[in-house]
Structure 1
Amino acid sequence: MRIIAFFTAFLIPAAAQAQMCQGFGPQTPRDIALAAGANSVTFPRAPEANQMNLCDIHTHTNAEHKGPGFSVSGGTGEHGGWKCNQTDSLTEAELSMPDGSEAFHGVKPGDTIEVHWVYTTCDVTPGPTLNSCFSDACVNPALRVESQVFLVVNDEGAPDFGDFAYDGNISNGLHQPKSLPSGTGDPVVFAGSTTGPSYTQAICSPMQVTWSVRPECMKVSYQSVQQWGAKGNVFGEDHSHGVRQLVTAPELLAPIN
């Protein structure tokens, strides 16, 4: 019944289907609560994150994926996406803007952000953009993205974004974040692509990425996000990026096993 409902809900008119990108592998983002997909392109699942090099960390405002804990529509377009379900229950204090300069732009208390930790099998050092995941000697690596959706709050007692930063951390000879979020449900793992507002259902990403998306939101301190931006980072990140709208066409989605 779940599969039938999925295909019925997302039947695509012939005109729209004619504009859909053809011949590409499975695309991202998606509704992680829906397991069905009809894209036949497969590729090997990337190793676990702790067996790969971290190459990039960046954020999107709002969430690109839709999930059980982030299912409130943020609208359409580059600044659409999905919001955490607790957004409307935040306190006045959690929503207030603290004094001080804004070092990391595009994020304020009450916003939802989706953070992507990008990993590669290449022997590289983390750096700006996804280009840091490749090298002249390694142009076709396996890629993995670990994803957590956060609800940003004005509360210095909330989880600290710095706990999930890189800061030059090496573990077992590999570049790694200091930690990854836990306690937000078992990650949903599936085959997909890169994301971002330059892609649509008509303009697809050619990259092959193993995704691991945690299904529930976690609050994060607004102050800690700003501190991450203020002290600088090897990724050159000083703002939160736009979103790629949800991919709903079954032809562009891999089945989630």
Structure 2
Amino acid sequence: MKIKLVTILVAAALLPMHAGAKDSSHDTHVDTHASAHHATVSDSVIAEQRAKLAENTAGKGFGPQAPRDIDAVAGKNLRTFNPAPPAAEMNLCNIHFHKNAEHKGGEFTKYAGNGDGHGFQSGYKYSGTLSAAELKPVGHEICPSKHGALSAGDTIEVHYVHSTAKVNPGPTLGSCLNDAIKNPQLRVETQVYVLVNDQSALDFADLALYARKQNLNQAMNVPTNTGTPVQYAGSTTGPGYNEVGSPLQVTWSVRPKVAKVNIETVGQWCEGNVFDEDHAHGVRNLVTNPALLSTISQ
């Protein structure tokens, strides 16, 4: 019982980064405050959240946090941990995505706005341009939720989560843990995509394909042509951490260039997948406090 309880507590700490579509702790938090009209909060609300994050973490020993501006390398957080192994030496345990990029930098620097103050309609968008054909509405809802559906032209940030534990891909980040290892190393391979109405664009089912390779569960088609990934030490994310620190240590690997994906294939994936994902998740405020950021090695 004690072993299982510890595992459950660790899993609960992971969940605010992302929780499954059917049982989402941070979605529950959001739902109690979300406006049916998705009203945009003022700058003062975001400033207050940042102030509370600083207050709630000051002097408590929290490690570096995520997400961040990947083009800004400075950081003053003194907590260190060993980087997770390469993804090829770990088990893929979860795939999920957020509407708009949680990270800023590279080709996703256009601020989506403050959003509702709880992670929706905020984050960063693709800063490039798309053709009228790519932006043409598809005529039906894609991955709908109470926070809205996806549309052509939208940006998503996909997290391919990996664990050193002996686990299989599944719903929620609880799938990245097991009773045998209480503190597995975690790595998130990150790719930002822009959704386009174009059948010749990438197929999301291919991008989310995984298979057993050398006795490990591997994501088979994470893009390799979207720039050298920026690797840094961070934490779990999600809007549940807008005002409190995340206690989990995560090695992040964020690709700076955006890839185009056929929006219809994202919708098809949302209709059924092993991860129980059926909608986009909210984003955590960009972490800007130097005391909560690691230094990015160049």
Same fold (TM over 0.5): yes
Structure 1 stretches lacking a partner, 5+ long: 1-11
Are residues 1:188 and 2:223 paired? no
- Equivalent residue for 2:133? 93
Are residues 1:34 and 2:72 paired? yes
The counterpart of 1:214, out of the listed 255, 266, 281, is 255
- Equivalent residue for 1:21? 57
- Equivalent residue for 2:178? 135
4+ runs of 1 displaced by more than 4 Å?
none
Task: Pick which of 68-77 and 113-122 moved more.
Answer: 68-77
Structure 1 position 217, deviation (Å): 1.0
Quick check: 1:109–1:154 contact (8 Å CA) kept in 2? yes
Structure 1 position 143, deviation (Å): 0.2
Question: Which deviations, in whole Å up to 9, do the C-alpha atoms of 1:140-194 show, x marking residues without a partner?
Answer: 0000000011111111111111222135x11111111121112111000000000
Structure 1 position 102, deviation (Å): 3.5
The 5-angstrom pairing of residues 103-122 of structure 1 reads 103=143, 106-122=149-165
Structure 1 position 107, deviation (Å): 1.9
Work out the CA distance in 2 between the residues paired with 1:204 and 1:101: 35
Are residues 1:247 and 2:287 paired? yes
Question: Which deviations, in whole Å up to 9, do the C-alpha atoms of 1:45-94 show, x marking residues without a partner?
Answer: 000001100000000011000012100000123120000112xx322221
Relative distance call for 1:103 and 1:30 in structure 2 (3 A) is closer
- Equivalent residue for 2:125? 83
Amino acid at match of 1:206: P
The alignment partner of 1:132 has SS state of: helix
- Equivalent residue for 1:7? none
Quick check: 2:160–2:188 contact (8 Å CA) kept in 1? yes
Work out the CA distance in 1 between the residues paired with 2:108 and 2:245: 24
Quick check: 2:143–2:150 contact (8 Å CA) kept in 1? no
- Equivalent residue for 2:212? 170
The alignment partner of 1:128 has SS state of: coil
Work out the CA distance in 1 between the residues paired with 2:155 and 2:143: 18
Structure 1 position 229, deviation (Å): 1.6
CA RMSD, aligned part only? 1.9
Question: Which deviations, in whole Å up to 9, do the C-alpha atoms of 1:5-47 show, x marking residues without a partner?
Answer: xxxxxxx99x938625132100000000011100000001000
The counterpart of 2:273, out of the listed 233, 239, 257, is 233
Structure 1 position 101, deviation (Å): 5.6
TM-score under structure 1 length normalisation: 0.88
TM-score under structure 2 length normalisation: 0.77
The 5-angstrom pairing of residues 197-212 of structure 1 reads 197-200=239-242, 202-212=243-253
Equivalenced residue count is 240
Quick check: 1:104–1:225 contact (8 Å CA) kept in 2? no
Work out the CA distance in 2 between the residues paired with 1:238 and 1:187: 27
Quick check: 1:55–1:132 contact (8 Å CA) kept in 2? yes
Amino acid at match of 1:228: W
Structure 1 position 104, deviation (Å): 5.9
The alignment partner of 1:95 has SS state of: coil
Work out the CA distance in 2 between the residues paired with 1:107 and 1:54: 25
Structure 2 stretches lacking a partner, 5+ long: 1-46
Work out the CA distance in 1 between the residues paired with 2:186 and 2:249: 7
The alignment partner of 1:175 has SS state of: strand
Structure 1 position 97, deviation (Å): 2.1
